[in-house]
Chain A
Amino acid sequence: MNILILDGFPENSSSKLQALLLEAQADPGVEYISLAKTAIKHCKGCFSCWLITPGECVIQDAGNDVARKYINSDAVILLTPVTFGGYSSVLKKALDRMIPNICGLFTEYQGETHHVRRYPKYPALVILGVQNTADKEGAEIFYELARRNSLNLYPTAMASHVFSEATEMEQLRSGLKSALAQAGVSL
C-alpha cells in the first residue's frame, strides 16, 4: 500500500500524533511530507489547470509534485492542528493545489453539484486534526469539513478524527489505528 502523509503542522509547533506518524516513515511504502518545510506557492485561482493545461498547475513547484503523488497513492493522510475548526494554512496551501486532479466540468453527485472526476481512482483519505484545548464546536466543524472534502475529492474510503493533544500516547496510538482502519488503511 502506497501511503502519502501530508503533515500540516507549522514549523514551530508539534504534536504527539506527528511523532506516531513519523514512526511509519520507516515503511518503504510510506512517504512523509512536512509541508511546513516544503516551498509551495499558493493557488492563484487562474483555472489554467482546468482550461489551458488540463490536469496540471502552471506553477512549477513542489505543489505539483504533491498533487502528482496524491493521485498515485492508495491512501493519503492529512494531519493538521484544528484551526478555527478547519485546516492550518500550511496544510491548505497543498490542498488548494489539488484541484488539477479533478476536472473543471460540473456534474451532479449525491444530489449536489460537484466536479467530474479526472482520474478513475482516488486515494482513500484520512483526515486527522489535533486540538490543544478541547473545543467541541471546533471539532464538529472539522468533521463537517472533512465530509464536505470527501464529496469533492472522491476518495475510495474516508475517515476523520479529532484528537486531543492531552491524550496519553497509548490511547492516541489505538485511536489512530482505528481511524486508519475505518478507511481501510494500515500502517
Chain B
Amino acid sequence: MRVLLLMGSPREGASLRLGRALMASLKEQGLATEEYYLVQGLTQGWGKLESAVRQADLLILSSPLYVDSLPAPTIAALEALADNAAGKRMAAILNCGFPEPFHNTTALKICRQFARRAGCTWLGGMSLSMGGFSLGKGLSRRVRISMKLAAQALARGEAIPDRAVHLAARKPIPKWLYLLVLNGVFRRVVRKHGKAPIDAQPYFH
C-alpha cells in the first residue's frame, strides 16, 4: 500500500511535523510513503499532484486551520482533485492555534465532504489545538502514541480509532495557561521587533 502526505500548510510548521509523524508510523507498518506540498501546485499546476495521487492508495491531508476552514491553497488542491481521486482512501490531521480542538470541526467536515464528492473512502480525522506549542520539543508522547494508533488502523484500511482521536485532541496545558503564556510572548515579541504597537490600526480611515 502506498500513502501520499498532502502538506496543507504554506510553511514548515506544526502540520509538517504532525504529517511526518504519522508517515513515520505508517512506514513502520510497511507502507511506502511520499509527500507533496500543496502550495507548489499554485505555481507548478496540478499535474504532478494528480499523478502522485493516482499512484497512491491512501491520502493523508495534514493542514492548519485558517479562518475556520482550510487554507486557500489546500482548497485549490482539493478543487483540482475532486475528479481525480476516486477510489482512494483518505484521512486528515488538522491543527489550529486556539486551545480548543473543536475549532477544527467544521474544516474536518469539509474534508469529509471532499472525500464524498471525490469518491474517496473517508477514514476519519484528528484535531489538535494550541498549534506547534502542543507538540512539544521532540514530539510529545501523547502525539506519538496517537499517530501510532492511527497508523495501525489506517494500514489495515480501517478508520482512525477514537482513542487516537481523543489522545491527539488532549490539551497538554490548561487553556488559561496557554492564553497567559502566548499573550505574554506576543507582547514581548512586538515590543522587541514590532514596527508598530500590537494594537495599531493602520487600515482605518
Interface of A toward B, CB cutoff 8 Å: 42-46, 50-56, 67-68, 71-72, 83-89, 92-93, 95-96, 98-101, 103-108, 112-114, 116, 118-119, 137-138, 141, 144-145, 148-149, 152
Nearest-CB distance from A38 to chain B (Å)?
13
- Provide the bound-state CA to CA distance between A98 and B68, in Å: 13
Residues of A within 8 Å of B57, CB to CB, are none
Task: Give 16 A-B pairs besides A89-B75, A92-B66 with Cβ atoms closer than 8 angstroms.
Answer: A45-B66, A50-B186, A50-B198, A52-B190, A54-B199, A84-B75, A86-B110, A87-B69, A92-B70, A95-B72, A105-B187, A112-B100, A112-B103, A113-B100, A148-B68, A152-B68
Nearest-CB distance from A69 to chain B (Å)?
9
A144 touches B109 (CB 8 A): yes
Q: Scan B48-73; emit 1 where CB is below 8 A from any A CB, else 0.
A: 00000000000000001011111111
Nearest-CB distance from A118 to chain B (Å)?
6
Nearest-CB distance from B46 to chain A (Å)?
12
Q: Which of A43, A52, A149 contacts B10 (CB 8 A)?
A: A43
Interface size classification for chain B: 35 or more
Closest to B195 in A: A53
B39 touches A42 (CB 8 A): yes
- Provide the bound-state CA to CA distance between A85 and B128, in Å: 21
Residues of A within 8 Å of B111, CB to CB, are 84
Nearest-CB distance from B125 to chain A (Å)?
13
Residues of A within 8 Å of B178, CB to CB, are 106
A149 touches B199 (CB 8 A): no
Q: Which of B71, B72, B76, B113 contacts A141 (CB 8 A)?
A: B113
A100 touches B66 (CB 8 A): no
B183 touches A72 (CB 8 A): no
Q: Which of A43, A44, A54, A83 contacts B200 (CB 8 A)?
A: A54
A104 touches B98 (CB 8 A): no
Residues of B within 8 Å of A95, CB to CB, are 67, 72
Nearest-CB distance from B134 to chain A (Å)?
13
Residues of A within 8 Å of B175, CB to CB, are 113
Assess whether B156 is interfacial by the CB under 8 Å rule: no
- Provide the bound-state CA to CA distance between A93 and B71, in Å: 8
- Provide the bound-state CA to CA distance between A92 and B78, in Å: 13
Known: A53-B195, A56-B203, A113-B175. A93 touches B72 (CB 8 A): yes
B199 touches A103 (CB 8 A): yes
- Provide the bound-state CA to CA distance between A85 and B105, in Å: 13
Residues of B within 8 Å of A42, CB to CB, are 10, 39, 42, 71-73
A141 touches B11 (CB 8 A): no
- Provide the bound-state CA to CA distance between A42 and B103, in Å: 22
Residues of A within 8 Å of B72, CB to CB, are 42-43, 89, 92-93, 95-96
Closest to A141 in B: B109
A114 touches B109 (CB 8 A): no
Closest to A106 in B: B179
B200 touches A106 (CB 8 A): no
Assess whether B137 is interfacial by the CB under 8 Å rule: no
7 of the cross-chain contacts (CB-CB < 8 Å) are A46-B11, A52-B190, A55-B200, A86-B110, A89-B73, A89-B75, A118-B200
Q: Scan B80-119; emit 1 where CB is below 8 A from any A CB, else 0.
A: 0010000000000000001110010011011101100100
Known: A54-B198, A113-B179. A72 touches B204 (CB 8 A): yes
- Provide the bound-state CA to CA distance between A52 and B13, in Å: 19
Q: Which of B79, B99, B189, B202 contacts A51 (CB 8 A)?
A: B189
Residues of B within 8 Å of A148, CB to CB, are 68, 103, 106
Residues of B within 8 Å of A87, CB to CB, are 69, 75
